[in-house]
Amino acid sequence: MSTATPAPPEDQPYTPRHAGVTLGRARPIFLRAAAAITVVWVAVVWTAPHIEVSAEVHRLALFCHLAALVVGFGAVLAMDWLGLQWMLRRLDLPTLLRTTHNAHLLVWLGLAGLVASGALLGPDTDATLTRVKLAAVLAVALNGLCVGRLQHRLAAYTESRPPWTVLAAGGLAALLSQAGWWTATAVGFLSTQG
């Protein structure tokens, strides 16, 4: 999924190259990744209700589900917290980009773990709450791709202030991400409350 090169050492500047691929290749890769995510999502929604597992496997899957939630959502909260620190001018842009670049992998690992373990938990895809949750999961994943692209664009402004359009897109992406994660978490909790 990640097309990014490793983050540079601390003493080297953060450039667009470190946030991902070159600009010319970014769009087709983004579209392919979005299509791949949607295909995986449809496959899981289609097949998960038909997967039957023993009570022990269900318990183990629930543990993995919660562990993946800690990893994925924990990384998202840390990234958004650092973004807020940057907006309050308590953190510089290269440091923000370097740190969030490294945390991105954790978000994708957490999300993949949630989807894989969630598929073993017997979701009732006819229930409205479950549908809301699955829509939130797709939104979170697609929004995550947009965040990767934004990071790429922001990396061009380490020496100057980014234009307000990029800042507004970053704020909107962070809001969408928080809304999606909290919705999925709340719906997951509510659906276990009998």
Binding site for ligand HEM (CB under 6 A): 44, 48, 62, 65, 69, 114-115, 118-119, 121-123, 137, 140, 181, 184-185, 188-189, 191-192
Q: b/e per residue, 120-134, with b = 16+ CB within 10 A?
A: bbebeeeeeebebbb
Rounded CA separation 25/13 (Å): 22
- Closer residue to ligand HEM in complex, CB, 45/169: 45
**Residue 99: exposed, middle, or buried by beta-carbon count in 10 A (0-12, 13-18, 19+)?**
middle
- Closer residue to ligand HEM in complex, CB, 60/91: 60
- Closer residue to ligand HEM in complex, CB, 23/42: 42
Say how many C-beta atoms besides its own lie within 10 A of residue 13's C-beta.
10
Instruction: Please give the span between the terminal C-alpha atoms of the chain, in angstroms, as a whole number.
Output: 37
- Closer residue to ligand HEM in complex, CB, 19/111: 111
Q: Smallest gap, in angstroms, from Cβ of residue 130 to ligand HEM? A: 7
Q: Smallest gap, in angstroms, from Cβ of residue 33 to ligand HEM? A: 18
Q: Smallest gap, in angstroms, from Cβ of residue 94 to ligand HEM? A: 29
DSSP assigned state of 184: H
Q: Smallest gap, in angstroms, from Cβ of residue 44 to ligand HEM? A: 5
* 32: nearest Cα among 77, 68, 63, 1: 1
Q: Smallest gap, in angstroms, from Cβ of residue 50 to ligand HEM? A: 12
Rg (CA), the chain: 18
- Closer residue to ligand HEM in complex, CB, 140/169: 140
